[in-house]
Amino acid sequence: MLKAIVIDDELYAREELNELLVESQQVEVIAQCSNAIEGLKAINSLKPDVIFLDIHMPQITGLELLSMLDPVSMPKVVFVTAYDEYAIKAFEDNAFDYLLKPVESSRLHKTLQRIKLINEQKLDQPNYSPITCQKLELIPCSGFNRILLLEPNNIEIAMSEQTGVHLLTDSDKFTASLSLKVLEEKTDLIRCHRQYLINPTCIREIKLLDNGSAEIVTKSNHHAPVSRRYLKVIKDRFGLL
Amino acid sequence: MEVTLLLLQQLSVYLVITYLLSKTPLFMPLIFISGRNSHRIACYILFSSFCILGTYFSLSIENALANTRAIGAVMGGLLGGPLVGLAVGLTGGIHRYSMGGFTDVACMISTTTEGLIGGLLHLYYLRKGRIEQIFRPMIALGITLFAEIVQMLIILAVAEPFDQAWLLVQSIALPMIIANSLGAALFMSIIQDKKAIFEKNYNAFSTTALRIAQRAVGVFKHGFNAKSCQKIADIIYQETAVGAVSITDKEKILAFVGVGQDHHLCGTVISSAYTLQAIEQGEIMYVDGYSTSYQCSLNDGCKLGSVLVIPLLEADGRVFGTVKLYEPKQKLFSTLNRSLGEGLAKLISNQILLGRYIQQKNLINQSEIRLLQAQVNPHFLFNTLNTISAVTRKDPQKARELIQHLSHFFRSNLKQNIEQVTVREELEHVHSYLEIELARFADRLTVTEEIDERLLSLKIPTFTLQPLIENAIKHGTSTLIGQGKLTIKGYFLEQSKETLVVLEVIDNAGNYREPSSSTGLGLQIVDKRIKNQYGQQYGLVMTCEANQYCKATITLPLHSRQEA
């Protein structure tokens, strides 16, 4: 059985697809999410084999969600859309799998067969970069009792800890559902340590330490370590020798 | 005494000539003081002639001439100004000089002086801004009297021998002063009459033309057709009081009113040779029924006896129809109506072209409405079908209702030619749409409606609310992760002197940005249509507080002038 997550903002659309998947008897729907933020969390925590992803969703679209996933642990993706000329053209051009709403069960069957085949033969994931965005405009985070969409330039430091990836702004700390690697690739944050990213526009001071490493102090007085390996990169970036 | 009578006799002949001349266009420049060179030249030529005429009509007395030359000189100056007066006087004087006699030099000087005197009075009134005063016969009488006395003094001063001059003046002074003053007064009176008649005609002409123009405005709003043409024909018929009026296109009679309307039927193919010629050549045809006989080509018993056919011209000069004015056999065509008719054809042509322009604009509006309707986007349609597909599993009854709402929604979209609907009808259309959206966004959308019941029967342009609601959902509530709230309000608002009808659609997303050319098209059309119909002060206003709310407010007048 394939483990699947259905992500769609319309209740009936989720239910309809869920019914069809149950009917197929090849898939177990482990979660239904009504927006991309819930979807991202569920993907990270439940590690599905396949996601059924709606394109039009509030705040963060399906394609943006795709950009937030770590390519290494990426599940199979099946796009689901009612009507979106541009997206459909992009799917066809790149031979990505997609379903049109209302979904026909025979068409769904074919899709499931193909996923099975990829799984059995351990074929490579398709490369989604042609349709995903190069830079993220909003980073979904969970704070205390709320979901927040953070603009990347408000982040001063991103750090990976046991409890997840944390983002420090001038006054707050949030937990992001994205990996440090995705943040590094899809935002302007730069790496200064294996576990730290820093916003170069927020650096106030780089304190050089005796052992060849350093420490960055941000405008809001947050501290981030700089490892020897990345210090050179940072120095180069600022034109320091 | 005898001299006076003789001189007055001469004067009569002189005035008869003046009167006859006043019937010709030669006189036209005299009745308006324009100060243009053309006016001055006309005055100079005319009054120089009168001066010379006065000399020819003179009586030979004591080796000198008793004459009415002074009238020309003084009048020339009076009507043409000092320069013209001087020139006329000099011309008349030189001519007199050429006739010889012992007063030749004196007469030349005095005539020139008289012209100058008239001119100086002209200048005086011009400076005082009361130039119309010179048309008063009493003024002409007074100034000529004065000028003649001056002339007598000049003769006494210049002519030699003095004894002879003294005798002459004794015998001619009184007759000449009387005859010239009286003559100038009568001359001016003829000019004054001519002026009065002209102004009266002119007023009648402009009043009629203006009234027709005023009444014709907007008649061709719906195009050049039998109905609009009949309206215009009626207006022309009533205002000009001609025997009959007809309007044709290039093939047939579109409208006819007046004498002979029993057989000049609308839709009859044009058979009149004159009309066909006017259409062919694009020229005005006038058949007076006297020099060229006119006979109605439709019926031998027709009472119409003369016709004026004026082609209607496109902007590029092509003929697209004619206007025809008729008079019955016992009546003559007035020149007034002839020239009016030509102006009318121009007016009608312009009105028709304007009407066509407005019609095309309306067509664009129409197609814009269609565009609005076509904006029912496929995304909405397929999502709806998907929803119905899902609902069918669990609640076939509800699925059936949704299909009904969908078909109702599409059906009202297809009612393309209706311009106005009641608020109730527009709301029904909106409800069908909302029922579907409520099903789609089952757990994420709530709608509240606060509509004043008295609004329901009011007429508003079709597709006024629908695009606002669609916009509020598509770009508003559907972009929210949490609950979307939509409020529709309708109420009356008393503002200064008038009662406004206000319709509001409010969402709780607060996403509105200034529309780019394509996304905001629906809203722009709503606004434009209301402004077109009711005026610039009405229409659609968007207000937005980011992340709080977005409000679309429509204001309309409660009592629209459009209905009248």
Percentage of chain B exceeding pLDDT 70? 94
What are residue B295's phi and psi, to 5 degrees? -135, 125
Full DSSP string of B402-421: HHHHHHHHHHHHH-TT--EE
Contact B439 A12 (CB under 8 A): yes
Looking at per-residue confidence, does B94 or B353 come out higher?
B94
Taking only Cα atoms into account, the Rg of chain A, rounded to an integer number of angstroms, comes to 20
Average pLDDT over every residue of B331-346? 76
- Tell me: the pLDDT tens digits for B157-170? 888 888 888 888 88
Element (H, E) at B497: none
Contact A102 B377 (CB under 8 A): no
What are residue B464's phi and psi, to 5 degrees? -95, -45
Is the predicted pLDDT of residue B358 greater than 80, yes or no?
no
B388 CA: distance to closest CA in chain A (Å): 8
Q: Which of A185-189, B89-93, B271-275 shows the lowest mean pLDDT across its residues?
A: B271-275
- Tell me: the pLDDT tens digits for B201-255? 777 777 787 888 888 877 877 778 888 889 888 988 888 888 899 999 888 898 9
Full DSSP string of B247-294: EE-SSBEEEEEETTTTTS-TTPBP--HHHHHHHHH---EEE-SSSS--
**CB distance from B387 to chain A under 8 Å?**
yes
- Tell me: the pLDDT tens digits for B451-461? 999 999 999 98
| Contact indicator for A53, A66 with CB cutoff of 8 Å | yes
Full DSSP string of B26-41: GGGGGGS----HHHHH
Average pLDDT over every residue of B351-380? 73
Give the pLDDT band of residue B564 (cuts 50, 70, 90). very low
**The pLDDT of residue B517:** 47
ipTM score assigned to the predicted complex: 0.83
**The pLDDT of residue A155:** 93
Q: Can you tell me the distance from the alpha carbon of B292 to that of B295, in angstroms, rounded to the nearest whole number? A: 10
Helices (H) and strands (E) in chain B, counts: 15, 14
Question: How do the residues of chain A divide into helix, strand and coil, expressed in percent and rounded to 5?
Answer: 35, 30, 35
- Tell me: the pLDDT tens digits for B497-516? 888 999 999 999 888 766 55
**The pLDDT of residue B563:** 42
> What's the predicted TM-score (pTM) here?
0.58
| Contact indicator for A225, A197 with CB cutoff of 8 Å | no
Alpha helices in B334-462 (DSSP H): 335-374, 378-394, 396-414, 423-440
Question: Could you tell me which chain A residue has the CA closest to the CA of B439?
Answer: A12
Is the predicted pLDDT of residue B562 greater than 70, yes or no?
no
Give the pLDDT band of residue B387 (cuts 50, 70, 90). very high
Category of A95 on φ-ψ map: left (φ > 0), alpha (ψ -120 to 50) or beta: left
**The pLDDT of residue A49:** 92
Question: Could you tell me which chain B residue has the CA closest to the CA of A34?
Answer: B481
**The pLDDT of residue B219:** 80
Task: Spell out, as residue ranges, where chain A has pLDDT lower than 50.
Answer: none
Is the predicted pLDDT of residue B519 greater than 60, yes or no?
no
Average pLDDT over every residue of B95-113? 86
Cα B475 to chain centroid distance, Å, stands at: 49
Contact A83 B377 (CB under 8 A): yes
Q: Can you tell me the distance from the alpha carbon of A154 to that of A222, in angstroms, rounded to the nearest whole number? A: 13
User: Which pairing describes strands A2-7 and A27-33: parallel, antiparallel, or unpaired?
Assistant: parallel
For chain B, positions 130-159, list CB contacts with chain A under 8 A: none
Chain A residues with CB-CB distance to B under 8 A? 9-13, 15-16, 19, 34-35, 37, 56, 58-59, 82-84, 100-103, 147
CB hemisphere CA count around B192 (13 angstroms): 16
Alpha helices in B99-131 (DSSP H): 104-127
Give the pLDDT band of residue B63 (cuts 50, 70, 90). low
**Dihedral angle over CA of B395, B399, B402, B403, nearest 10:** -170
**The pLDDT of residue B18:** 84
**The pLDDT of residue B209:** 78
| Contact indicator for A62, A92 with CB cutoff of 8 Å | no
**The pLDDT of residue A143:** 67
The mean predicted confidence, pLDDT, of chain B is: 85
Is the predicted pLDDT of residue B143 greater than 50, yes or no?
yes
Looking at per-residue confidence, does B18 or A13 come out higher?
A13
Q: Can you tell me the distance from the alpha carbon of B548 to that of B544, in angstroms, rounded to the nearest whole number? A: 8
- Tell me: the pLDDT tens digits for B411-436? 887 775 677 889 999 999 999 999 99
- Tell me: the pLDDT tens digits for B534-560? 888 899 999 988 889 999 999 999 876
Q: Can you tell me the distance from the alpha carbon of B59 to that of B2, in angstroms, rounded to the nearest whole number? A: 11
Q: Which of B80-84, B294-298, B382-386 shows the lowest mean pLDDT across its residues?
A: B294-298
Question: Could you tell me which chain A residue has the CA closest to the CA of B393?
Answer: A16
How far apart, in Å, are the Cα atoms of A82 and each of B379, B384, B482?
Answer: 6, 9, 22
Looking at per-residue confidence, does B100 or B384 come out higher?
B384
How far apart, in Å, are the Cα atoms of B104 and each of B6, B111, B154, B155, B243?
Answer: 22, 11, 12, 9, 62
